[in-house]
Amino acid sequence: MNTLIAVPSASPGGLDASLGAHFGHCDLYTLVAVEDGKVKQVNIVPNVPHQQGGCMAPVQYLSQKGVKLLIAGGMGLRPLMGFNQSGIDVYYGGDFQTVGDAVNAVIAGKLPQFSQEHTCGGGGGSM
């Protein structure tokens, strides 16, 4: 796997940081460059204000940074569709406590792809 992974994180970010509960309301993003199944580089970038473009602003922001994969614990259906349309694969990492654990799980192929059943609010679907 050679890719750039974004993980919503609590301050101060990094591999030992707690996962941000919701991608749009996190303190910041930890960006993890993975090459040949190993973490090569870790950077921290601030989140963008939600009011600038609503929940789609972080989608565009992360896409511009070159992100190809996002690990999230929660998001609505609209941004999930936005990530998918931007070519960013989204995986559900809500069961992990730290960024590093979630990244290792996705590298190992143990995270489920984020689907409509993981979305919160705004989806309005009934079962």
Neighbouring residues of 13: CB distance < 8 A, sequence distance ≥ 6: 27, 28, 29, 30, 44, 99
In a domain, 85, yes or no: yes
In a domain, 70, yes or no: yes
Span 66-103, pLDDT tens digits: 999 999 888 888 889 999 999 999 999 988 999 999 99
In a domain, 55, yes or no: yes
In a domain, 125, yes or no: no
Q: What distance in Å separates the CA atoms of residue 61 and residue 32, rounded to the nearest whole number?
A: 16
In a domain, 50, yes or no: yes
Q: What is the pLDDT of residue 73?
A: 86
In a domain, 41, yes or no: yes
Q: Domain of 18: which CATH number?
A: 3.30.420.130
In a domain, 10, yes or no: yes
Q: Are 86 and 59 in contact (CB under 8 A)?
A: yes
**Domain around 80:** 3-120
CA-to-CA separations, 40 to 17, 29, 31, in angstroms, rounded: 17, 17, 11
SS3 60: helix
Which residues of the chain register pLDDT less than 50? 122-127
In a domain, 126, yes or no: no
Number of domains into which the chain is organized: 1
